Amino acid sequence: MLSACSTTLSSKRDHYLPNPAHVKTTQNKKMTHLENKHKVILPDIKLFTNNAIHQILETPVSSKQNTFIDPPADFHSPLTLWEQIQQDLQLQRYYQHPQVDHYYQYYLKNKRHIQQSSERAEPILHLIYQQLHKKQLPAELLLLPIIESSYSPLAHSPNGAAGIWQFMPATGKNYGLIQNYWYDARYNIDLASRAAFNYLTYLYQHFNHNWLLALAAYNAGEGRVRKAIKNNQRQHKATDFWHLSLPTETRQYVPKLLALSKLLQQHGNYFYPIPNNPYLSMVKTKHWILIDTLIRKLNLSKAAFLYLNPGIKTGIIPKNISLLLPHNKAKQFRIQQSELLLAHNGYWRQYTVKKGDTLGQIARYHHSKVSWIKASNQLASSHIRIGQKLLIPNTLPKNNTLLKSQKRQKKAQGLPQHYREYIVQNGDTLWHIARKHQVNVEALKRWNKLSDKRYLQPGQKLLIY
């Protein structure tokens, strides 16, 4: 899903800020929330600034409709959302610093980047704002995703950070963001935002209600900030953020955020005007669902669906996960969810394609269907390659008695679990077939119950394990 996102931050738009692309991060990776964020990879902006986002925005939620979070009391404010955020800023006392002014001047000269990032936030910003408003956190935190990911839900880093908040795998797991074969909750806008605010709240409390230290720890890791504080204490130096010896990236990270805040306060027109309306609702899946089936039923483009739900890693939506949908689509989903149930019972296996395999052979062996395999793996054709990993849906559960019987029989015969079929050709010999498939002649005879006196016949099927 994200493999198509090959454009790096520095090549897709103006350079983030001077120098960070050449900064070398230090060690202590276990304590680091995010490393090398300047290498974040973004999808093609054009893909999501036309039909996809417009489809998401087509039906805003009215005040009487069921949103996934109760809207703030001032929901009906005539202000745009960025204007509302502008009024909620809390960290103005930190603006007067040379480093803040340095990045403020930089942002003044890069209006296009600010407008692009803030426009990309349009479908999702109100949802995130509602969460922040409930926790009564500084509105400046809503600017962090501009630094972290340019507000792209699909952003990911070569180092493994993912989503608009760029959670590293370990930090994500610590804050309840599931990551498995099917799903990566770090990309879930709702769940990742909750996790980010919980993490930032913890850091704020841990560092004696100091937001600059909390933000530094969010970037560099709390252990690294604690160590820097202790080093200054031993040397009888000041322990505020500006006097700590921290990685270059972190020393830039905090003043960047403050500079963005100052820019929003003094030049709000740099930020794309977003209506102060929620557009999204959260729904929970009760069944396994094919993405293609869902978007067809809801008349929703795949680009729009994946923009809101990039954490789904295959062509299948697992059960018991939360999806974000435009409000009108969420209402339709709740009504039609039972019609989206997969044709099979939701039993799955992973299979690695071997030499000689065809989809038909793989489907027969796993009690599946070619159409299911193609849909589950989003295959446009029946072409497969050796070493390719396929998700195989089948109609039999793993504890099915038939499968258990087959496994016991093969185990008794000393046979592996996977096989491929070979059709004997004119001139074939057991030796040539065994050599071609890199197996032992005696094993080939045993698998097919062949004797030295029995000749091979053209068209004969042989099983090769």
Structure tokens at 456: 């091979």
CATH topology match: 7-270 vs 419-465: no
235 pLDDT exceeds 90? Answer: yes
Q: How far, in Å, CA of 86 to CA of 261, rounded?
A: 8
pLDDT on residue 73? 44
pTM: predicted TM-score of the whole model, two decimal places? 0.67
Distance of alpha carbon 395 from alpha carbon 103, whole angstroms: 59
Q: Where are the domains of the chain?
A: 7-270, 343-416, 419-465
Return d(Cα 318, Cα 314) in angstroms, integer. Answer: 9
Q: Residue 183, SS3?
A: strand
Angle at CA of residue 208, ends 202 and 213, nearest 5°: 75
Give the DSSP H/E element, type plus range, for residue 8.
strand 7-8
Could you read off the pLDDT of 116-129 as tens digits, one per residue? 999 989 889 999 99
Buried residues in 154-186 as b, exposed as e (16+ CB within 10 A)? bbbbebbbbbbbbbbeebbeebebbbeebbbbb
Residue 90 has what pLDDT? 95
pLDDT of residue 7: 30
Structure confidence at residue 94 (pLDDT): 95
Q: What is the pLDDT of residue 161?
A: 92
**Average per-residue pLDDT for the chain:** 78
CATH of domain 343-416: 3.10.350.10
Asked if residue 170 lies in contact with residue 21, where contact means CB atoms within 8 angstroms, the answer is no
- Name the packing angle between helices 189-206 and 211-220 (round to 10°): 120
Note the pLDDT of residue 82: 94
Give the pLDDT mean for 161-175.
94
State which CATH number among 1.10.3720.10, 3.40.50.450, 3.30.497.10, 1.10.530.10 fits the domain covering 7-270: 1.10.530.10
pLDDT at position 357, please? Answer: 85
Q: Which residues are catalytic?
A: 148
Q: Evaluate if residue 46 carries a pLDDT over 60.
A: no
pLDDT at 433: 84
CATH topology of domain 419-465: Membrane-bound Lytic Murein Transglycosylase D; Chain A (3.10.350)
